Structure 1
Amino acid sequence: MLYRGDFVYTENLCDLTIRRDYLLAVDTEGYISHFDHASTTCSHSLISNESDDHIVLIPPGSFILPTFCDLHLHAPQFLYQGTGLHLPLMEWLNEYAFKAEESLDQDVNLARRVYTRLGERLAENGTGAVLLYGTIKEETNLILAETMQQIGIRAFVGKLSMDISTRPTYVEPTHIESLASARSFIDRVAAFISHIPDHARLVEPVLTPRFVPTCSDALLQGLGDLAAKTGVRVQSHLAEARDQMKVVQESRGMSDLEVFERRNFRVLLDTEQAIAHCPLSNAYFSGRQLILREALDRGVCVGLGTDVAGGYGIDIMGAMRWAVGVARLSEGARLERSEGQAQARVSRDKAADPLIDTRGISVDWKEALYLGTRGGALALGLDSGVFKTGAPFDAQQICVFNPSTMPYGTGPLDFFDSGDGYLDLSPEVIEKWWCLGDARNRTGMWIQGKRVYFG
């Protein structure tokens, strides 16, 4: 299959790449086999040897963008998305999260309905890969994995491991049974995908100790050993909120990071760590936002997450916008503190961290777009997020305007300076979509070369 038109991606943190009138070829397994300007000899040869029904022309006013990656989403909490955000974290978990998760574990039909609609919403919003928190019960998580595979979403599915709970009916009896269930889930996912060709396998299991307050030291140690033995990825929460950190300090006598490091997760933290930055849920539950700029400047792998239902929106575009807004607020607070300090203190701070003091800690929309696409892909170990030979064709088609309807663009966009009805696909046009666009601008999505959404 050939795709001809404009392509946009962010291969590096600060670079926005716009390729105009390019030709992209996808092989039978869904990998990009050619990506070059449509005027080249090789491109001409591909076009001349392909039938018209295998050539997709991207119309003026539209472009192809890599799909979004969501690094943190609680699948069962989609059940009550957009409600219950008035409580502190630990109270919120008891009042809403645990109840919702338990209800899906008790009703497989409800689980299928929720997870099917979740997958459809992810495709509608351009999310092609997602790292999911599930529930305790193996069968419910297998439903989640099967549903995502069927819809065509790359899904990293985490069966929750938790042998401590404030809800007596929603807990695994012992750390031994919890570990056995985690091992069983890994094997059952492997069995489920064994009949699927390698290139078409979209789901994989993830070890998921919920967080320190719900996991005994013995369970964490066992999961750390299991991760080292199997190579299965691990996800969890760290230092999310003041009440959560207080619980850990009082029960363990140390921070949750120290707890993980002592339970055979050190190698993961030191060499393969990635941060799922969820700015919206942090605004609700955390006493302090992640200093995103510091993490990026220090070379930490960072992507974005929606944290549904701790975050009310399933769209990564919302997470991108919140990431920029929160960083701007943090920068404003930093400047205000600096202005109120004595010169000696300011000089000392510069010596301690000159990079932050000279560059500030804000981020811009291009950097956020990188985090929502390429940054998230790298965090998940995927080769997507860019357009290059050998990468999977994971892409979404975005329409910002139709020349025949100008100056009125697509969805919420308007372009009153369009002149003759056409605008060049400039960074300014893309920024306008980034700020104002929504699902109405999405006219298609492909995962591993297969179209999974028709806008």
Structure 2
Amino acid sequence: MLVRGDLVHCPELGKLEILQDHVVDIGYTGLIDYIGPATTPDAIEKIAASAGRLILVPKGSFLLPTFCDLHLHAPQFLYQGTGLHLPLMKWLDEYAFKAEERIDADPSLAHKVYTRLAERLIEHGTGAVLLFGTIKEETNLILAKCMMNAGIRAFVGKLSMDISSRPSYIEASAAASLTAVSSFADKCIALNNELPPGTTLVEPVLTPRFVPTCSDELLLGLGKLSKAKNLRVQSHMAEAYDQVEWVRAERGVEDMEVFERSGLLTPRTVQAHCTFLDPPSLSHVAKRGTAVAHCPLSNAYFSAEPFRLREALNNGVKVGLGTDIAGGYHIDILSSMRQAVAVSRMREGARIMGKAAQSHTKADGDDKSVLSIDWTEALYLATRGGALALGLTNGVGTFMKGASFDAQCSKHPID
């Protein structure tokens, strides 16, 4: 396939590149074999030999890399935007656990919801997604198949939870949970055998829901399994005030320490939220190579703190964006980009006013402690930043030779 048009990407944080009138040659496996200006001899030759393979991007439109959603609860697509007046732990009892249990009990409902979810992700330009599922193995395989059939790069997490405030929605023991997730991981990987050689669309992710629903035995077992099978890990960490206080009361430590001593704070791990991590803790996360899924909208509902995004980036933490359906009510990563900018601007405003109050003089935002981000940095987080957080190398999230051609086309403003 040969594509000609304007391309826009952010290969680095804060760096926007506009590639006007470029030609991209995509090979059979979906990788970019060639990219260059349409006026070069090589590009002209490829166009001349395209024999109907050439796709023209409409004038006024451009291609962007597809978005990466680093945090989405697939079964909660059932009720997105509901009950957001409640604190996190109560919201889970009132809505999340019930919806997940309902989907686990009804395979046809699961297929219907997950098929619609895949359709909506494509409509909103999401090409890679890190998914929380449910506790039932078969339901998560339905989720993986729906994503694979839609052509979405999906990282699917079968929930592991041997502690629950809802007795009917729990795994029998840590041992039973570990057996089930190991089986799911093998079956999920095997789904890729149905695809062309060298192609991978779905991967399993070990998913302890969060510390309050997992015993120490289960967390330690998941850490060993992650290392043994080289599996990715996802969870929630330092998310909300009531959750943080629960862990302190029950475990006597911060939940970051619980994850670390369990072998789950690794370069293969993505932790959602992390709003209660201070800069030294963020520096420690960076040293471990763990990534953060920043979900600004759900943080506004469930956390008493905004995520320290600028401090995380300054400390070298890998950060991407998440919608956090259903704690967030919109599946569009573009909305998460806007919200990330807005929250950071409010944090910067508070910093400026605090500085002015301390010095009794007018403060500015020109020093190195500026906390806001701009739209180009938000675009990076939604594309290349998310790809790196997921461990997708070889240029994913950009337009470059050797990268996967994961692209979406902007809509012409007058269409």
TM-score over 0.5 for the alignment? Answer: yes
Letter in 1 for 2:324: D
Question: Displacement of 1:193 after TM fit?
Answer: 1.8
Deviations 1:385-444, CA, capped at 9 Å, x for gaps: 10011111100011233xxxxxxx34xxxxxxxxxxxxxxxxxxxxxxxxxxxxxxxxxx
For the Cα contact (< 8 Å) 2:192–2:199, is it kept in 1? no
| Residue 381 (structure 2) pairs with residue 371 (structure 1) | yes
| Residue 20 (structure 2) pairs with residue 8 (structure 1) | no
Q: What secondary structure, in the 3-state scheme, does the structure 1 residue paired with 2:23 have?
A: strand
Deviations 1:292-330, CA, capped at 9 Å, x for gaps: 111111111100000000000100001000000000001
Aligned to 1:332: 349
Letter in 2 for 1:366: T
Deviations 1:154-176, CA, capped at 9 Å, x for gaps: 10000000000000000001000
Aligned to 2:317: 300
Unaligned runs of 5+ in 1: 347-354, 402-408, 411-455
Q: What secondary structure, in the 3-state scheme, does the structure 1 residue paired with 2:235 have?
A: coil
**CA distance in structure 2 between the aligned counterparts of 1:118 and 1:272, rounded to whole angstroms:** 30
For the Cα contact (< 8 Å) 1:149–1:201, is it kept in 2? no
| Residue 380 (structure 2) pairs with residue 360 (structure 1) | no
| Residue 227 (structure 2) pairs with residue 228 (structure 1) | yes
For the Cα contact (< 8 Å) 1:70–1:129, is it kept in 2? yes
- 2:398 pairs, out of 386, 398, 413, with 386
Aligned to 1:278: 295
Deviations 1:225-264, CA, capped at 9 Å, x for gaps: 1111111000000011000011100000011001111112
Aligned to 1:322: 339
**CA distance in structure 2 between the aligned counterparts of 1:122 and 1:161, rounded to whole angstroms:** 25
Question: Displacement of 1:50 after TM fit?
Answer: 1.4
**CA distance in structure 1 between the aligned counterparts of 2:179 and 2:112, rounded to whole angstroms:** 28
| Residue 322 (structure 2) pairs with residue 287 (structure 1) | no
Letter in 2 for 1:288: E
Question: Displacement of 1:341 after TM fit?
Answer: 2.0
**CA distance in structure 2 between the aligned counterparts of 1:358 and 1:170, rounded to whole angstroms:** 48
Unaligned runs of 5+ in 2: 268-284
Query: 1:413-428 maps to which residues of 2 (within 5 A)?
Result: none
**CA distance in structure 2 between the aligned counterparts of 1:243 and 1:359, rounded to whole angstroms:** 30
Aligned to 1:451: none
Q: Which of 18-27 and 188-197 deviates more?
A: 188-197
**CA distance in structure 1 between the aligned counterparts of 2:402 and 2:353, rounded to whole angstroms:** 48
| Residue 166 (structure 2) pairs with residue 156 (structure 1) | no
What is the aligned-residue identity percentage? Answer: 57
Aligned to 2:239: 240
Aligned to 2:277: none
Question: Displacement of 1:49 after TM fit?
Answer: 1.2
Deviations 1:190-235, CA, capped at 9 Å, x for gaps: 2222232244321000000000000000000000011111110000
Question: Displacement of 1:342 after TM fit?
Answer: 5.2
Deviations 1:62-106, CA, capped at 9 Å, x for gaps: 101100000000000001112111100000000000000000000
Aligned to 1:445: none
Deviations 1:136-191, CA, capped at 9 Å, x for gaps: 00000000000000011110000000000000000001000001111111111122
For the Cα contact (< 8 Å) 1:159–1:208, is it kept in 2? yes
**Cα RMSD (Å) of the superposition?**
1.5
Aligned to 1:24: 24
Quick check: which has more Rg, 1 or 2? 1
Deviations 1:2-56, CA, capped at 9 Å, x for gaps: 10110010111111110111100001111101100001111111111111x2100
Question: Displacement of 1:272 after TM fit?
Answer: 2.7
Letter in 1 for 2:190: A
For the Cα contact (< 8 Å) 1:294–1:356, is it kept in 2? no
Query: 1:167-316 maps to which residues of 2 (within 5 A)?
Result: 167-268=166-267, 270-316=287-333
**CA distance in structure 2 between the aligned counterparts of 1:363 and 1:198, rounded to whole angstroms:** 41
Aligned to 2:83: 84
Aligned to 1:44: 44
Q: TM-score, normalised by structure 2?
A: 0.92
For the Cα contact (< 8 Å) 1:6–1:21, is it kept in 2? yes
Aligned to 1:452: none
For the Cα contact (< 8 Å) 1:26–1:34, is it kept in 2? yes
Q: TM-score, normalised by structure 1?
A: 0.84
Structure 1's consecutive aligned runs of 4 or more residues displaced over 6 angstroms after TM superposition are none
**CA distance in structure 2 between the aligned counterparts of 1:392 and 1:30, rounded to whole angstroms:** 6
Q: Which of 329-338 and 166-175 deviates more?
A: 329-338
Letter in 2 for 1:70: D
**CA distance in structure 2 between the aligned counterparts of 1:375 and 1:147, rounded to whole angstroms:** 25
**CA distance in structure 2 between the aligned counterparts of 1:381 and 1:356, rounded to whole angstroms:** 34
**CA distance in structure 2 between the aligned counterparts of 1:190 and 1:374, rounded to whole angstroms:** 25
